[in-house]
Amino acid sequence: MDKNQKTKLIQLGLFIVTVITTTFAGAEWTLGKFIFFGMTWDDFLFGFHFSIPFLLILTVHEFGHYFTAKYHKINVTLPYYIPMWFGFVGMASLGTMGAFIRIKETIFSRVKYFDVGVSGPIAGFVVAVIFLIYGFQTLPETEYIYEVHPEYEVFGENFEERMEGLDTLILKSDLNPERLAFETLPDTIDTSRVGAVFFGDNILMNLGRKYLAHNDRYVPSSRELMHYPVLLAAYLAFFFTALNLLPIGQLDGGHVLFGLFGAKNHAIISRVLFTGFIFYAGLGWVTTADLVNSSLESIGNFLISIALYLFVVYWCAFSVFKEKRDRLLYATVLFTVQFFVASVLKVEGYSGWLLFSLLIGRFIGVDHPPVVDNTPLSVERQILGWIALVIFILSFSPEPLVVEGGF
């Protein structure tokens, strides 16, 4: 067996494993069950309602890159899928970290970089929109959610409003969830499920809720989206599309930015957007409210939080500044501004983006590789580039995963 055959076997094996892990993930999210915690064979099979559309969108995305690279006679591999699953320890995951193709030669053309970068997100986006429409057009009746959450039935059709009110009451109350639920709810409510893990909306999901559903009574809120596998697959596809289309560095959106504006402007815009991204991510990490009292423990925790944040931002700036002192100054100034803005205006960002900021700043980079052929894009390609940036705006969710209460 030659090297090429071994590579293809590895790629096929990774794909098969990813099908299995995403199917488990689909069952976990939609049914709230795990392999060692109540999942049955029928539950696993139900997970295909999520894994098939999700992997189809992901595959179309990657083959959009692949066939465009082949069109330009660029040496490229078939996709490598990355399985990732934590369900065996009772922790829900997406079943995969995505997929990638390897470009095995240097690209020297601005146009080719643009074509390869823009083709994947647009191809995957089109399929995701199809599943979004299908998901909203085929919503099950309210009784479906009672199979997943029998405790909701006691509330009737306004169960989401009542459960959200309960979550708010618990978060603001000194009572623990069990006692509060015992005192305010019927015995049929499962108080262990109080709290919420849900997916934050984007523009497309909001438009879908408003215009695509036949019956508003059956439209799930962001809190219940996870139980609707096709809509969940579409939402996650939009999420990954938005990540790829961030107009920074060597992400797909970075290639689009490079194609539209050239190397010099890319370097400026990419750094400005990257700084804004980190600023939003770290907004509210530390505020004056964290100094709840003047005890040594409170002050110590406050200082540790500051040091940890400065350390993270320092490494985020790895590809922005070459000199260590510049990175430290960048981190210090950014933190100072964030601290005062968050403390005075009482606003918060989404700290989950710090991990992705670290990935970009430390490993992917905020700059774009230079090219020899700097021929500007045609008008048609420029239009396509702006469409890609609009897709990014429509698909982006400021808070993609929100955790509240006692889940």
Instruction: For residue range 75-128, list pLDDT tens digits in order.
Output: 999 999 999 987 665 566 889 999 999 999 999 999 999 999 999 999 999 999
Assess if residue 116 is contained within a domain. no
For residue 197, what pLDDT band results from cuts at 50, 70 and 90? Answer: confident
pLDDT, tens digit (0-9, with 9 covering 90-100), for 209-226: 999 988 777 888 887 888
Q: Is pLDDT at 157 greater than 80 in this prediction? A: no
Q: Is pLDDT at 395 greater than 90 in this prediction? A: yes
Given CA atoms 252, 253, 254, 255 in this order, what sign does their dihedral have?
positive
Assess if residue 189 is contained within a domain. no
Look at residue 171 in the predicted model and tell me its pLDDT: 44
Domain end (from 364, 379, 400): 364
Q: Is pLDDT at 184 greater than 60 in this prediction? A: no
Assess if residue 180 is contained within a domain. no
Q: Is pLDDT at 355 greater than 80 in this prediction? A: yes
For residue 60, what pLDDT band results from cuts at 50, 70 and 90? Answer: very high
Residues 261-282 have a mean pLDDT of 96
pLDDT, tens digit (0-9, with 9 covering 90-100), for 302-350: 899 999 999 999 999 999 999 999 999 999 999 999 999 998 998 999 9
Look at residue 164 in the predicted model and tell me its pLDDT: 55
Lowest mean pLDDT among 33-42, 69-78, 105-114, 134-143: 33-42
Given CA atoms 184, 190, 192, 196 in this order, what sign does their dihedral have?
negative
Residues 21-35 have a mean pLDDT of 89
Whole-angstrom distance, CA of residue 240 vs CA of residue 128: 11
Beta bridge partners of 99: 81
Residues 201-208 have a mean pLDDT of 94
For residue 38, what pLDDT band results from cuts at 50, 70 and 90? Answer: confident
Contact (Cβ atoms closer than 8 angstroms) between residue 104 and residue 369: no
Assess if residue 223 is contained within a domain. no
CA distances from 201 to 19, 62, 124, 160, 395 (A): 26, 25, 19, 16, 9
Look at residue 325 in the predicted model and tell me its pLDDT: 95
Question: Is this model's pTM higher than 0.85 or not?
Answer: yes
Assess if residue 340 is contained within a domain. yes
Look at residue 406 in the predicted model and tell me its pLDDT: 39
Look at residue 186 in the predicted model and tell me its pLDDT: 46
Whole-angstrom distance, CA of residue 97 vs CA of residue 314: 25
Contact (Cβ atoms closer than 8 angstroms) between residue 50 and residue 233: yes
Q: How many domains does the structure of the chain reveal?
A: 2
What is the tally of helices (H) and strands (E) in the chain? Answer: 14, 4
Q: Is pLDDT at 180 greater than 70 in this prediction? A: no
Look at residue 241 in the predicted model and tell me its pLDDT: 96
Question: What's 141's DSSP letter?
Answer: P
**Between these two residues, 401 and 15, which has the higher pLDDT value?**
15
Rounded to 5 degrees, what angle do the CA atoms 249, 252, 258 make? 55
Determine the length of the chain: 407
Assess if residue 392 is contained within a domain. no
Domain end (from 105, 131, 146): 105
Radius of gyration, alpha carbons of the chain: 23
Whole-angstrom distance, CA of residue 272 vs CA of residue 248: 9
E strand segments, 228-309: none
Task: Name the token pair of 126.
Answer: 């089109």
Alpha helices in 32-109 (DSSP H): 41-46, 48-71
Assess if residue 96 is contained within a domain. yes
Percent pLDDT > 90 in the chain is 65
Q: Which domain holds residue 9?
A: 1-105
Domain end (from 105, 124, 149): 105
Assess if residue 44 is contained within a domain. yes
Contact (Cβ atoms closer than 8 angstroms) between residue 245 and residue 389: yes
